[in-house]
Amino acid sequence: MAESVAQQQLARAGATGKRRRRVFKDGKGWLFVGPFLAVFAVTFLAPIGYAIYLSLYRNQAFFGGTVFVGLDNYTQALQDPKFWEAFGRVAVFLVVQVPIMLVLALLAALAIDSARLHAAGFFRIVIFLPYAVPGVVAVLMWGYIYGDNFGLAANLNDLLGTTAIQPLSGTWMLPSIANIVTWEFVGYNMLIFYSALRTVPGELYEAAAIDGAGTFRTILAVKLPALRGAIVIATIFSIIGSFQLFNEPNILRTLAPNVITTYYTPNMYAYNLSFAGQQFNYSATVAIVMGIITAIIAYVVQLRGSRESL
Amino acid sequence: MSTVTSPLRPKRSKLLTGVMVLYLLYTIVPLAWLLLSTTKTQDDLLSTPGLWFGKSFAFFTNIKDTLTYNDGIFLRWLGNTVLYVVVGAGGATLLATAAGYGLAKYKFTGRRAVFAVLLGAVAVPGTALAVPTFLMFSNLGLTNTVWAIIIPSLVSPFGLYLMWVYATDAVPGELLEAARIDGAGEVRTFFTVALRLLAPGIVTTLLFAMVSTWNNYFLPLIMLSKPNLYPLTVGLTQWSNQATGVGARPIYNLVVTGSLLTIVPLVVAFLLLQRFWQSGLSAGSVK
Amino acid sequence: MKSHRWGIRRLVVAGAALTALAVLAACGGGSKTDSAGGGTTTGSADAVDAALKAGGEITYWSWTPSAQAQVTAFMKQYPNVKVNYVNAGTGNDHYTKLQNAIKAGSGAPDVAQIEYQALPQFALPGSLVDLNQYGFSQYESAYTASTWAAVHAGSGLFGLPQDSGPMALFYNKEVFDKYGITVPKTWDEYVAAAKKLHAANPKAYITNDSGDAGFTTSMIWQAGGQPFKTDGKNVTINLQDDGSKKWTGMWNQLVEGGLVSNIPGWTDEWFKALGDGTIATLPTGAWMPGVMESSVKAGAGKWAVAPMPTYDGQPATAENGGSTESVLKQSKNPALAAAFVRWLNHDEGVKPFLASGGFPATTADLKDPAFVDKTSAYFGGQKINQVLTAAAGTVVKGWSYLPYELYANSIYGDTVGKAYQSKSDLNAGLTSWQDALVKYGNEQGFQVNG
């Protein structure tokens, strides 16, 4: 019975929420969306349109002309073992790394928001900082941490009297990349959650308190529902980020050129086809195929996550 | 930080703090390497343990050398980066806020299509589009100009999504209706009523846009071939590449110090912006 | 429902419009490229001098350390010429920008640094100016035979050599003395030294090789291999020819035996390992001393230089690295650009280049006693240039790179790299490299046999 006040309060908040979410039925919305879309069209849609056009042709980098090949490039991509190897790798990465990262971020956000933490502001900025470290220094930094000749890994091996820790070897590589991505992006996602928590109306907490709800009940009944939209966004963008994994493997490629192939991830594959091989047409095809797969998965997540919002 | 969140003002927990300190350590080790490395000379960087100080303390020499290397080109790159961030990230935040608000508060034809197109476009890996984008910009005469960096920075699909979610919750429809009844135009309502309510979301969006513009590497690398237009990321990579090949002259100490100096403005921005998360709360509970 | 369908139709229309826009953009780009590629440049030896006299403005892309000093000296000598010097990136970054500018039809520099290995890739599609028309063939005698061959693609002359990199064996004398290792003259002795060293100190390696295409091709070159042959559109690839197999027969012993360090070159770990004895030798180009002096300070007094080990004990070496400066077809003033190239790599520009620690391609400098007999404090007072200039005369003839060497290098790790990773037969890796290169070449308009 203790919950009843909170439930009423929640129900009321829900009702006002619905009332607050009222939207206006008119085209004036374009006034606000238009400027964004105009720039978006130039910087995203036009290149994608160009890429779709490219994907229908085949061009020879030397001596050659351009031939229209219809969907041949797509057939090739769908049967390309390199593409699927890369895809499988990022799919594994997605399934394992994204939940870990988001749960850590969520816990960090709840902890910092809980007011039970000493020096919460310090935690907030330090956990966010990794995202701000420029990529150029990452090669040096991770080269030191993962280095099994002179680096931290070598020190650990010496300490334990083994040579077992080889973060840059084939079997360790994907976990090593996942570690870097987690390190960088926990703070990023934490901020998304944290700033969403800041919009929870104070009366909900009051109601929960009146009911005598403990910390965990408050989290379950008040905070998590409030975070729903933010969680959906963070998930969607983490899915996209995983499928587009590029920077971190590319950084480690300098340190382990034989382990990280040019087709280690789909995005690296598209990049290397284009930049090293000048196979712009096939590169565009790989990018479009990957885009379609990613969009479908992201769309499903969005539908499931925010049925009412759309 | 003050405890506005919960009216209970619960006691601070040593256990929770302890657990968080563990996570903090994980975060801090690489950062500690970076900080310690900035105190070392090029020779010490190669010869002394990474997680402790070197034989000499060269922090201030490194900073001086970073700022004066190649006639002080670092400061030029810093200035460029600030320009790109102020115009690019500032513009991106404004556009994303307006668009997110528009999508959340107006039900117009084509709204669903906007979402679908956005999601589809964001899902296509950008690196593969670099060459098409370059060729387009080249035809428009935009390569090797600041616009080649600023225009693409103006779009933050992530910011739009974020603002859409915030605006859905944080801007009460009644307030907008009240403003309309008072005879305020749509744009004026947005600027006078909505912006204030959206502050915490705007700050978050701005912060993300700033960091991503600040760290924007790939686009300027492709678009620019004039070093005096480079942002810090491209310039520092060029310094880093001096360690490669015939005539190699590694300046790792300057790369590391430059990277640290690159982070400092972002930290300052973070500290300046964070107070808006708190004012945001009160805005959210305005009745 | 109705409105929904309308939405989609509108979307399709918008999409079509965008595609049309993109097609227009693409055609624009294409036609521009064509006009740039088809534009004929006519000139003569006199035209170069005339252009220099008339003056003008050109742009120069290079990452050579002495480039700024050279440009400054040039403009002092020719005040009516303005050279805009740009460091557009190192290696692949530079080539990416160059490639993009060529494809876009504008934005390329007048003069660009291009490594020997990358020259055919830019020369064959017609992106560079053939300097024969300015009578530059007359400068042949000024350069070593190997570098002069390296600036040619087919019969065209696409640059003047900036530097050369005849290979020699750089070794850590201190480490050799400590473990009682004598300087190897043959590769068999080298393999034996590798075993002895690693047995004595499991943390020390005879050299590092984590799989590097430039090193591999140079080693095959030294072994007398000619895996790449190009005749117009016809390319032959044979990475299992006698020379290639000679090299793998020897190098396999090191790779399979775990006797080479996996530290990748040009990383901070590598510079460290060169200084502390972890890496005991480097078979590499003659430009290495400058790099060591400036960047491996801990190795001062420890290192020495010997001729490359060979298979039969007779002197033979290959080139490793090195660049030329080329004139781009996009240049609006190719005669002036050619004049600048001539000054850089034939006339007064060579001096500032040498002063910065570069190793010359010019025979006069290679014979100059002041250069040859110079003692090097870093190398313990050894007259290292005696070894290095002698190497320049023993470069094996007949080598050529693939016309798509940059692509070949980029996929080296995917193929040969796997053999390095699993410490297994390099021949298997070379064969899969060859297969990938044949396939790519045929897709890009060549007739490739392999």
Structural domain boundaries of chain A? 3-18+72-305
Asked if B222 reaches chain C (Cβ–Cβ under 8 Å), the answer is: yes
Per residue in A24-55, pLDDT (tens digit) is 667 788 899 999 999 999 999 999 999 999 99
The pLDDT, as a whole number, for residue A78 is 96
Contacts A143 to B, Cβ<8 Å: none
Q: Confidence band (pLDDT; 50, 70, 90) for B107?
A: confident
Positive/negative CA dihedral, C144, C96, B222, C82: positive
B120: nearest Cα among A289, C386, C101: A289
Asked if A38 reaches chain B (Cβ–Cβ under 8 Å), the answer is: no
- For the entire predicted model, the pTM comes to 0.89
The pLDDT, as a whole number, for residue C14 is 44
Kindly determine whether residue C19 and residue A49, on different chains, have CB atoms separated by under 8 Å: yes
CB atoms within 10 A of CB C317: 29
Asked if B241 reaches chain C (Cβ–Cβ under 8 Å), the answer is: yes
Q: Out of B131, B132, B238, name the one closest to residue C89 (CB).
A: B238
Asked if B231 reaches chain A (Cβ–Cβ under 8 Å), the answer is: no
The pLDDT, as a whole number, for residue A306 is 67
C-alpha distance from B116 to closest chain C C-alpha (Å): 10
Kindly determine whether residue A53 and residue C23, on different chains, have CB atoms separated by under 8 Å: yes
Tell me the residue ranges of DSSP E strands in A60-147.
66-68
Asked if A241 reaches chain C (Cβ–Cβ under 8 Å), the answer is: no
Per residue in A138-196, pLDDT (tens digit) is 888 998 999 988 889 998 998 998 888 999 998 999 999 999 999 999 999 999 999 88
Asked if A263 reaches chain C (Cβ–Cβ under 8 Å), the answer is: yes
B208: nearest Cα among A151, A194, A165, A46: A194
User: What's the N-to-C CA distance of chain B in angstroms?
Assistant: 25
Q: Is A130 helix (H, G, I), strand (E, B) or coil?
A: helix
| Domain limits, CATH 1.10.3720.10, in chain B | 70-284
Alpha helices for B171-274 (secondary structure H) = 173-181, 186-189, 195-197, 199-214, 218-223, 232-241, 252-273
Q: Confidence band (pLDDT; 50, 70, 90) for A304?
A: confident
Q: Please answer whether residues A79 and A88 qualify as being in contact, where contact means their C-beta atoms are separated by less than 8 angstroms.
A: no
The pLDDT, as a whole number, for residue C2 is 35
Kindly determine whether residue B151 and residue A39, on different chains, have CB atoms separated by under 8 Å: yes
Percent of chain B surpassing pLDDT 90:
44
**By CA distance, what is C297's nearest residue in B?**
B43
B128: nearest Cα among A29, A290, C118, C23: A290
Return the partners of chain A (3 or more C-beta pairs < 8 Å).
B, C
Q: What is the arithmetic mean of pLDDT over C331-353? A: 96
Per residue in A216-230, pLDDT (tens digit) is 888 888 888 888 888
Q: Out of B226, B244, B252, name the one closest to residue C86 (CB).
A: B226
Percent of chain C surpassing pLDDT 90:
83
Radius of gyration of chain B (CA): 23
Percent of chain B surpassing pLDDT 70:
93
C212 has a pLDDT exceeding 90: yes
B121: nearest Cα among A26, C227, C18, A41: A41
Kindly determine whether residue C19 and residue A52, on different chains, have CB atoms separated by under 8 Å: yes
Q: Confidence band (pLDDT; 50, 70, 90) for B11?
A: confident
C-alpha distance from C112 to closest chain B C-alpha (Å): 13
Percent of chain C surpassing pLDDT 70:
90
Beta-bridged to residue C67, according to DSSP, are none
| Most C-contacting residue of B43, B107, B129, B225 (CB-CB within 10 A), to test interface | B225
Contacts B149 to A, Cβ<8 Å: none
Architecture of domain C45-164+321-367: 3-Layer(aba) Sandwich (3.40)
Determine what percent of chain B falls in helix, strand and coil, rounding each to the nearest 5: 75, 0, 25
Kindly determine whether residue A278 and residue C18, on different chains, have CB atoms separated by under 8 Å: no
Residue matched to tokens 């370059």:
B134
**ipTM for the complex shown:** 0.88
The H-or-E segment that residue B287 falls in is none
The pLDDT, as a whole number, for residue C248 is 98
B139 has a pLDDT exceeding 60: yes
Do the bridges between strand C81-86 and strand C56-61 make them parallel or antiparallel, or are there none, so unpaired? parallel
CATH of domain C167-318+376-449: 3.40.190.10
The pLDDT, as a whole number, for residue C3 is 36
The pLDDT, as a whole number, for residue B111 is 85
Kindly determine whether residue B47 and residue C275, on different chains, have CB atoms separated by under 8 Å: yes
Per residue in C74-125, pLDDT (tens digit) is 999 999 999 999 998 888 889 999 998 998 888 999 999 999 999 999 998 8
With 0-12 CB in 10 A as exposed, 13-18 as middle and 19+ as buried, what is C2? Answer: exposed
B248 has a pLDDT exceeding 90: no
- Report residue C381: phi and psi, to 5°: 80, 5
Contacts C417 to A, Cβ<8 Å: 257-258, 261
Q: Which one has a higher pLDDT value, B122 or C259?
A: C259
The pLDDT, as a whole number, for residue C15 is 44
The pLDDT, as a whole number, for residue B10 is 66
**By CA distance, what is B34's nearest residue in A?**
A141
Q: Which one has a higher pLDDT value, B116 or C351?
A: C351
Per residue in C15-59, pLDDT (tens digit) is 444 444 444 444 433 333 333 333 344 567 889 999 999 999 999
C-alpha distance from C149 to closest chain A C-alpha (Å): 22
- Mean pLDDT comparison of B103-107, B211-215, C179-183, highest-scoring range: C179-183
Q: What is the arithmetic mean of pLDDT over B276-282? A: 56
The pLDDT, as a whole number, for residue C29 is 38
Q: Confidence band (pLDDT; 50, 70, 90) for B84?
A: very high
Architecture of domain A3-18+72-305: Orthogonal Bundle (1.10)
**In chain C, where the domains are located:** 45-164+321-367, 167-318+376-449
Q: What is the arithmetic mean of pLDDT over A222-242? A: 90
- Report residue B235: phi and psi, to 5°: -60, -45
The pLDDT, as a whole number, for residue A200 is 74
The pLDDT, as a whole number, for residue C38 is 34
CA atoms within 13 A on the CB side of B121: 23
Asked if B243 reaches chain C (Cβ–Cβ under 8 Å), the answer is: yes
Q: What is the Cα–Cα distance from B2 to A37, expressed in whole angstroms?
A: 39
Give me the total of CB pairs closer than 8 Å, taking one residue from chain A and one from chain C: 106
Q: Confidence band (pLDDT; 50, 70, 90) for C287?
A: very high
The pLDDT, as a whole number, for residue A24 is 61
Q: Out of C25, C297, C323, name the one closest to residue B135 (CB).
A: C25
* Chain mean pLDDT for chain A: 86
The pLDDT, as a whole number, for residue B283 is 38
* Structural fold of domain B70-284: MetI-like fold (1.10.3720)
Q: Please answer whether residues C159 and C119 qualify as being in contact, where contact means their C-beta atoms are separated by less than 8 angstroms.
A: yes
The H-or-E segment that residue C230 falls in is strand C228-231
Kindly determine whether residue A230 and residue B165, on different chains, have CB atoms separated by under 8 Å: yes
Radius of gyration of chain C (CA): 24
Q: What is the Cα–Cα distance from C130 to C287, expressed in whole angstroms?
A: 28
A58 has a pLDDT exceeding 60: yes
The pLDDT, as a whole number, for residue A15 is 42
Task: Provide CB contacts within 8 A for C69, sequence distance 6+.
Answer: C352, C355, C356
C64: nearest Cα among C371, C353, C361: C353
Kindly determine whether residue C268 and residue A276, on different chains, have CB atoms separated by under 8 Å: no
